């Protein structure tokens, strides 16, 4: 994976170097924040899974007790009341309400059970006999359903957290293994490219100054040669100094104009 990160398509300029450095800093901060979020969620997640396990065990027990109390009912009533109950069910008395809980920015819904007052579909059930058992059975089942609702909210939280943790971990990994290496690569690339430019510039300057030095040296040598020649001529033929002087000065004037101009008094 890390081999294929590449780099971003930017021009290697100082400005984009600054941008990339900022980006890297941002990515590192984001990474550490997400990591912490993921840890907090995972902690919560483990807590929830443990509670789910417990609640499932508890549910097994509670449902057993409830089933037993229903058996008591059918014994007391002396017949099947299932049909009667199914037919008389009209309005839910036992309802749930969803609330939200915030765990590091993730909204987890929790169900809360409540009973709708004034609704009773089974007022006449067990009127003949077994009314007391039915009453007890209802209470038992109501408690059992409360356990079930609790379990349901744990389970919902479990599913949502599972999903969220996956997403967060994916982001953490993406930042850690793709974005940060790529930004680092880009910074490296920009740096090397800038260094290269620096070297090129330095070399160019060196070349230019070398050329200038060579030119100056050549000019110096020429002047020197001219002077020597003049000295020799003067030494050999001192009678006509003016003509040679004119000649030399003409020669020099073509080379280095400014310095020698004052000597042109002869004209």
Partner 1 sequence: MAASAATYKERQFLAVIGDEDSVTGLLLAGIGHVTEPPESQRNFLVVDSKTETSEIERAFQNFTQERKDIAVLLINQHIAERIRHSVDTFADPFPAVLEIPSKDHPYDPEKDSVLKRVRRLFGE
| Residue pair 73/81 in contact by the 8 Å Cβ criterion | yes
Q: Residue 172 interacts with partner 1 (CB under 8 A)?
A: no
| Residue pair 251/229 in contact by the 8 Å Cβ criterion | no
* Helix runs in the chain, H state only: 14-77, 82-88, 131-174, 180-236, 241-255, 257-260
Residue 9 backbone zone (phi > 0: left; psi -120 to 50: alpha; other: beta): beta
The distance of Cα 123 from the centroid of its chain, to the nearest Å, equals 61
Q: Residue 119 interacts with partner 1 (CB under 8 A)?
A: yes
Q: Residue 17 interacts with partner 1 (CB under 8 A)?
A: no
Residue reference for tokens 């809980």: 101
Interactions with partner 1, residue window 24-83 (CB under 8 A)? 49, 52-53, 56, 59-60, 63-64, 66-67, 69-71, 81-82
Give the nearest distance from C-beta 117 to partner 1 in angstroms.
11
Distance (Å, rounded) from C-alpha 260 to C-alpha 251? 10
Tally Cβ neighbours within 10 Å of residue 38: 22
Give the nearest distance from C-beta 42 to partner 1 in angstroms.
10
The footprint of partner 1 on this chain (CB under 8 A) covers a number of residues equal to: 58
Q: Residue 151 interacts with partner 1 (CB under 8 A)?
A: yes
Give the nearest distance from C-beta 76 to partner 1 in angstroms.
13
Q: Residue 97 interacts with partner 1 (CB under 8 A)?
A: yes
Tally Cβ neighbours within 10 Å of residue 110: 17
Q: Residue 162 interacts with partner 1 (CB under 8 A)?
A: yes
Among 148, 165, 143, which residue's Cα sits nearest to residue 47?
165
Q: Which is nearer to partner 1, 38 or 125 (CB)?
A: 125
Give the nearest distance from C-beta 101 to partner 1 in angstroms.
11
Among 29, 33, 89, 216, indicate the residue that binds partner 1 (CB under 8 A): 89
Q: Which stretch binds partner 1 (CB under 8 A): 133-141, 170-178, 223-231, 246-254?
A: 133-141
Give the nearest distance from C-beta 160 to partner 1 in angstroms.
5
Buried b / exposed e over 58-68, threshold 16 CB at 10 Å, is eeeebbeebee
Among 5, 10, 19, 160, indicate the residue that binds partner 1 (CB under 8 A): 160
Q: Which is nearer to partner 1, 142 or 178 (CB)?
A: 142
- 240: DSSP letter: -
Residue reference for tokens 């940060």: 180
| Residue pair 93/116 in contact by the 8 Å Cβ criterion | yes
| Residue pair 94/121 in contact by the 8 Å Cβ criterion | no
Q: Which is nearer to partner 1, 169 or 260 (CB)?
A: 169
Give the nearest distance from C-beta 148 to partner 1 in angstroms.
6
Q: Residues interacting with partner 1, by CB under 8 A?
A: 49, 52-53, 56, 59-60, 63-64, 66-67, 69-71, 81-82, 85-86, 89-98, 100, 107, 109, 111, 115, 119-122, 125, 134, 137-138, 141-142, 144-145, 148-149, 151-153, 155-156, 158-160, 162-164, 167
């Amino acid at each position: 994976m890390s081999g294929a990160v590449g780099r971003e398509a930017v021009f290697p300029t100082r400005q984009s170097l600054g941008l990339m450095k900022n980006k890297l800093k941002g990515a590192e901060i984001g990474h550490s924040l997400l990591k912490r979020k993921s840890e907090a969620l995972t902690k919560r997640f483990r807590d929830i899974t443990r509670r789910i396990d417990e609640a499932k065990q508890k549910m097994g027990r509670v449902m057993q007790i409830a089933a037993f109390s229903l058996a008591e009912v059918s014994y007391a009533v002396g017949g099947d009341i299932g049909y009667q109950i199914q037919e008389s069910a009209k309005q839910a008395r036992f309802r749930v309400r969803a609330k939200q809980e915030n765990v590091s920015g993730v909204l987890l819904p929790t169900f809360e059970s409540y009973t709708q007052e004034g609704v009773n579909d089974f007022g006449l059930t067990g009127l003949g006999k077994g009314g007391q058992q039915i009453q007890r059975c209802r209470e038992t089942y109501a408690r059992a359903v409360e356990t079930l609702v609790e379990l349901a909210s744990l389970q919902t939280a479990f599913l949502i957290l599972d999903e969220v943790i996956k997403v967060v971990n994916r982001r953490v990994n993406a930042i850690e293994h793709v974005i940060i290496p790529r930004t680092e690569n880009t910074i490296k690339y920009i740096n090397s490219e800038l260094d290269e430019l620096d070297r090129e510039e330095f070399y160019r300057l060196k070349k230019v100054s070398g050329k200038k030095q060579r030119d100056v040296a050549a000019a110096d040598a020429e002047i020197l040669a001219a002077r020597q020649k003049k000295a020799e001529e003067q030494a050999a033929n001192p009678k006509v100094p003016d003509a040679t002087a004119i000649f030399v000065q003409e020669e020099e004037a073509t080379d280095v104009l400014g310095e020698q101009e004052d000597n042109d008094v002869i004209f």
